[in-house]
């Protein structure tokens, strides 16, 4: 809540959730029964991203081999069962002067409440059918 990501060469905020924990937990019983890429986000509210390449990335979760996967984030009521998707809410997000995307989203059930997105190549790059509800406020200024 209330964080600022500014001036990076890549991504301001990145929801990069693996299917299972990696590192020291990889292959353990704990890892096999933990599903970060299917767990609901508790809160993402009042954050600002500016002067990055992409401001908010909800795609490309890490694989254990160091590569990323080409599918996004979907939260479920019971992670691991892949039934009953639940909403992933981003609230009061401000994004401006990013060189590519304001929001890059892949997955399902993404909800954006009160975003302020301006002065970038794409305000939203969305893949698949994930947009349940988008509420947009655009503030237009000169220059």
- What residue has token string 């509210």? 45
CA distance 75 to 87: 7
Listed residue (56, 61, 119, 52) closest to 90, CA to CA: 56
Mean pLDDT for the chain?
Answer: 85
What integer pLDDT is reported at residue 71 of this predicted model?
76
What integer pLDDT is reported at residue 128 of this predicted model?
52
CA distance 98 to 120: 5
Which of helix, strand or coil describes residue 9?
Answer: coil
What integer pLDDT is reported at residue 135 of this predicted model?
47
What integer pLDDT is reported at residue 125 of this predicted model?
66
Residue 92 in tokens: 């009061």
Could you tell me the pLDDT band of residue 132, with boundaries at 50, 70 and 90?
A: very low
- On whether the CB atoms of residues 57 and 73 are closer than 8 A, the answer is no
CA distance 134 to 123: 12
With 80 as the cut, is the pLDDT of residue 91 above it? yes
CA distance 40 to 31: 17
Q: Are strands 85-86 and 75-76 parallel, antiparallel or unpaired?
A: antiparallel
Listed residue (10, 62, 67) closest to 37, CA to CA: 62
Degrees (nearest 5) of the Cα angle 17, 22, 28? 125
């Amino acid at each position: 809540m209330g964080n600022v990501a500014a001036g990076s060469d890549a991504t301001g905020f990145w929801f990069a959730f693996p299917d299972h924990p990696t590192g020291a937990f990889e292959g353990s019983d704990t890892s096999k029964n933990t599903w970060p890429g299917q767990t609901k986000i508790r809160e993402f509210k009042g954050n600002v991203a500016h002067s990055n390449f992409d401001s908010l990335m909800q795609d490309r979760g890490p694989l254990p081999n160091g590569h990323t996967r080409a599918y996004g984030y979907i939260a479920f009521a019971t992670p691991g069962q892949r039934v009953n998707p639940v909403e992933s809410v981003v609230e009061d997000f401000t994004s401006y002067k990013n060189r590519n995307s304001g929001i890059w989203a892949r997955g399902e059930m993404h909800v954006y409440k009160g975003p302020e997105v301006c002065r970038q190549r794409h305000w939203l790059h969305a893949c698949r059918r994930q947009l349940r509800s988008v509420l947009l406020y655009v503030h237009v200024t000169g220059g």
